[in-house]
Chains A and B, each alone.
Chain A
Amino acid sequence: MSLKHAQEYRDPVIARRLADRIAAASRRPIRLMEVCGTHTMSIFRHGIRSLLPETITLLSGPGCPVCVTAQSDIDAFIALARKPEVIVATFGDLMRVPGTESSLQLERAAGADIRIVYSTFDALTIAAEHPDKKIVFMGVGFETTAPTIAASLSAARDMGRKNFFVFSAHKLVPPALEALMNFPGVALDGFILPGHVSVILGEDGYRSFFERFSVPCVITGFEPVDILQGIFRLAMQVESGTPALENAYPRAVTAEGNQKARQLMDAVFEPADAVWRGLGTIAQSGLKIRATYADFDAARHFDLALPEPVEPKGCACGDILTGAKTPPECALFKTVCTPMDPVGPCMVSSEGTCAAYYRYTE
């Protein structure tokens, strides 16, 4: 296999034929939701919407990790950054997310030591280089990212590292799917299930959700041919009246998923109730650090005085994350809120729905 092979999943002839088959198969109007920010970006970048018949509406769900992070968690990150003994390590897309009073970017400008890292192990390296400081990693992400954070905590314990902490704001996808199905005013006919969350969870990770709701679900890859194939399979399920849980990304996703990653994640984290922007509190939808790793848990170690969380006035991120609104329906979109000067997280993150609309639509 070569990279040329990956290119084949961008083959315009196959893509066009798949689009034709979707148009021929799809009779009744359906609303499909992708719950992965990388799908959102890929759908825009490759102009997938323009290939689809009018019967198919694509909605972007709560699939951007930064976007779904609660205002209170953003405020906690900022409070941590303000502590003089702390070096904050974070993935870059959190920097500009506005909290109630500030953002990590503003804190850095004001002198806080905040480092953008590519992997949690980079944060561990910083901890080794600065034994006099406390390094706190901002744990944001879904089942794809959580095992990587777990790996770093496991390694930190093996190394006997005493100055490395994680603030866990991780989220789990299947409980969010369930919440969306029960959310007032959200009517969905099918889910384009995330690619790399599914690498970890496997097809089996959605089994109990599917059995409870019988809604069409297709695990889908990120290239245009993958996405069109996922949509085609969803349309076929709707038309035939036979919902199924299907895997249209078998080169990356197995039935059982990555068991080693899940074992490590389970050793370090346990499910806990979590607050999502837009969706509110969802039972057992987050991950907190287990008592056995309490020494590395920033939420336990630091005393944080947080402001009463206030979300940006007029920002429709919450409605956008549930598919209740599209970005152009937000009064701030493109007027007050732009990628250069974002009001809410859906415009900040490169994979946020508002950022995607801003970049790729007229």
Chain B
Amino acid sequence: MCLAIPSKIVQKSGNLAVIDVDGVRRDANLMLLEDAEVGDWVIVHAGFAIHKIDEKSALETISFLREAAEFSERQP
């Protein structure tokens, strides 16, 4: 089962991290990432961080969708 919500790295020691998943703290392994630091948002699967969320892209997508929604709102 994939965990859809992103987790935030709150502590890091070598390849081991403590992550915050919507208020719950868990351990996560960082072996599958090139680089990850405290404060990064990551996608975690089966105890491993597998991706560092691209914040810029996340914000761009949602603002594009919001604009599209507002645009269609104005259509008759």
A residues at B contact (CB < 8 Å): 1, 3, 5-6, 8-9, 11, 13-14, 17-18, 20-21, 36-38, 41-42, 91, 93, 118-122, 141, 144-145, 147-148, 151, 155, 194-196, 199-200, 221-223, 225, 229, 250-252, 254, 258, 260-261, 264, 350-351
Contacts and interface: CB of A to CB of B under 8 A. Distances in A.
B66 to A, nearest CB: 6
Contacts of B47: 118-122, 148
Nearest to B6: A6
Contacts of B69: 13-14, 17-18
Given A151-B32, A225-B65, A1 B58 contact: yes
Nearest to B73: A17
A1 B1 contact: no
Nearest to A41: B1
Given A21-B72, A151-B32, A261-B50, A222 B2 contact: yes
A225 to B, nearest CB: 6
B29 A151 contact: yes
Contact of A6 (B5, B32, B46, B65): B5
A260 B33 contact: yes
- The binding surface of chain B is classed by DSSP as mixed
A269 B4 CA distance: 27
B46 A145 contact: yes
Contacts of A91: 46
Contact of B4 (A200, A221, A258): A221
Contacts of A196: 2, 43, 45, 50
Given A199-B50, A260-B34, A17 B68 contact: yes
Contacts of B59: 1, 5
Nearest to A21: B72
Contacts of A119: 27, 29, 46-48
Nearest to A248: B61
A89 to B, nearest CB: 12
Contact of A5 (B2, B62, B66): B62
A196 B46 CA distance: 12
A239 to B, nearest CB: 17
A-B residue pairs, 6 tightest by C-beta = A119-B47, A222-B4, A251-B58, A17-B69, A38-B2, A261-B32
Contacts of A36: 2
A55 B61 CA distance: 26
Interface string B39-56: 001010111101101110
Interface in B18-47: 22, 26-27, 29, 31-34, 41, 43, 45-47
B41 A1 contact: yes
Nearest to B69: A17
Interface string B1-21: 110111000000000000000
Contact of B72 (A17, A141, A145, A194): A17
Contacts of B68: 17-18, 21
17 contacts: A1-B41, A1-B55, A1-B59, A3-B22, A6-B6, A36-B2, A121-B47, A151-B48, A196-B2, A196-B43, A221-B4, A251-B55, A252-B51, A252-B53, A254-B54, A258-B33, A350-B1
Contacts of B43: 196, 199, 252
A250 B26 CA distance: 26
Nearest to B32: A261
A50 B34 CA distance: 41
B53 A251 contact: yes
A54 B40 CA distance: 42
A350 to B, nearest CB: 6
Contacts of B32: 147-148, 151, 258, 260-261, 264
Given A118-B46, A144-B45, 11 more contacts: A1-B41, A1-B58, A5-B62, A36-B2, A37-B1, A42-B4, A151-B29, A195-B4, A223-B4, A251-B54, A261-B50
Most buried by A among B2, B6, B26, B31: B2
